[in-house]
Amino acid sequence: MNNNQKNGQSRRGYTSNFTLVCLLLIAVLTVINIKIFSGIIAKNPEVDIVYNRAEDPAVKEEAKKQAALQKELETSFIELSVSVDDTKAGNLVLVNNSNAYSFEASPKIVPKSPLVPFSGRQSDNYTVSYPAREMMTQEAIDAFNALADDFYAQTGHRDLFMLDSNRSYEDQERVYESKGSDIATLPGHSEHHTGLAFDMQIYQNGAVLAFDGEGDYSWIHQNCHKYGYILRYPHDKTEVTEISYEPWHFRYVGKEHAYYMYTNNLCLEEYIGLLKKYTLDSERLIFTTDEGVQYMIYSQPVGADTDKIYLPKNHSYNISGDNDGNVIVSAILSGN
């Protein structure tokens, strides 16, 4: 065998051995990669969810919840179209430094009750500054008539004096200019625009006295919620309302809402904020008043992308906007 033949055989043997080594190395790396990848899958639940999402308990529970809600909506609720203006009318409208009152709102579903004068509608147990000019909604007047009658029965007082139950934008401008920002709110941002609020004073022997809610008059602070009224600017909520304590300023919101606010020490800003958490598709606010009436309350956002709300088919209800992007529904579940 010559040298060329020997060299050829040597090269072929080297190549064969090199190929074998490469194949073995590839096999070893493959096994290692499989083990590493298996470990990643075992330690990373997100990878596992990709392959087992249909079996995930949380996903199955959410699907079950959504199916139950859809069935409930179909059988127990009616769907109605609304507009953003529906959020700007009703007994619960929030009017403050951040939320202006909408004079021009034209709601589709939420009632925008007309204002009527006290003249011929008020109880004999209180006085109104100008009965033919002072106006509120009929619902608010009826509620205050009942309050004043019961206050007289309890205390013998019929010297309550009501004023400033409604103000136009121009009226508020004059008040703001005369009293300043420390006392008056900006025009367009006053509760007196709503026809749901008033200031209380006392009329005795031809003189008008300040109402401080003390003595016999504390009865009104302690009981006005039973008639649907709240003390709008309590002494312990000034940081929230941004208004100093006003023992004379009362606001009508409706019995169910006034009851919950009073018993849970909430001002209107806090209550509206709380209701945003209680939606139709989550936990609804359910409670029973001292009179034995059980309510269910829920909030529904309304905007450019959400123009539908749901109302209960089998229960009487009240509906109001909150002037903060939502429509609030309060349904009576039991009692009357």
pLDDT digits (tens, 9 = 90+) for 67-123: 888 888 899 999 999 999 999 999 999 999 999 999 999 999 999 999 999 999 999
* Maximum average pLDDT range among 33-42, 59-68, 274-283: 274-283
Q: What is the mean pLDDT of residues 221-237?
A: 98
Supply the pLDDT for residue 36: 46
Distance separating alpha carbons of residues 291 and 299, to the nearest angstrom: 24
Please tell me which residue, 191 or 39, carries the higher pLDDT value. Answer: 191
Residue of 61, 74, 173, 246 with catalytic role: 246
Tokens found for residue 170: 């121009």
Query: If you write DSSP's letter for every residue of 273-325 in order, what string do you get?
Result: HHHTT-BTTS--EEEE-TTS-EEEEEEEE-SSS--EEEEESSS-EEEEE-SSS
- Listed in sequence order, the residues at least 6 apart from 99 whose beta carbon sits closer than 8 Å to its beta carbon are 189, 323, 324
Residue with tokens 């959504």: 66
With beta carbons less than 8 A apart as the criterion, state whether 214 and 155 touch. no
Q: Residue 269 CB: number of other CB atoms within 10 A? A: 17
Lowest pLDDT segment from 39-43, 170-174, 222-226, 316-320:
39-43
Supply the pLDDT for residue 37: 43
Quote the pTM value. Answer: 0.82
Using a pLDDT cut of 90, give the percent of the chain over it: 73
Tokens found for residue 240: 């929230």
With beta carbons less than 8 A apart as the criterion, state whether 333 and 296 touch. yes
Question: Is residue 246 annotated as a catalytic residue, yes or no?
Answer: yes
Using a pLDDT cut of 70, give the percent of the chain over it: 84
Q: Residue 84 CB: number of other CB atoms within 10 A? A: 17
DSSP collapsed to 3 states, 98-123: CCCCCCCCCCCCCCCCCEEECCCCCC
User: Regarding beta strands 285-288 and 308-312, do their DSSP bridges make them parallel or antiparallel, or are they unpaired?
Assistant: unpaired
Distance separating alpha carbons of residues 287 and 40, to the nearest angstrom: 50
Supply the pLDDT for residue 56: 81
Supply the pLDDT for residue 103: 96
pLDDT at 46 over 60: no
pLDDT grade for 291, boundaries at 50, 70 and 90: very high
Distance separating alpha carbons of residues 89 and 94, to the nearest angstrom: 10
Please tell me which residue, 21 or 258, carries the higher pLDDT value. Answer: 258
Q: Nearest Cα to 93, choosing from 294, 244, 223, 254?
A: 254
pLDDT grade for 57, boundaries at 50, 70 and 90: confident
Supply the pLDDT for residue 23: 59
Supply the pLDDT for residue 314: 94
Tokens found for residue 288: 């029973």
Please tell me which residue, 282 or 129, carries the higher pLDDT value. Answer: 129
pLDDT grade for 26, boundaries at 50, 70 and 90: low
With beta carbons less than 8 A apart as the criterion, state whether 174 and 203 touch. no
Please tell me which residue, 300 or 27, carries the higher pLDDT value. Answer: 300
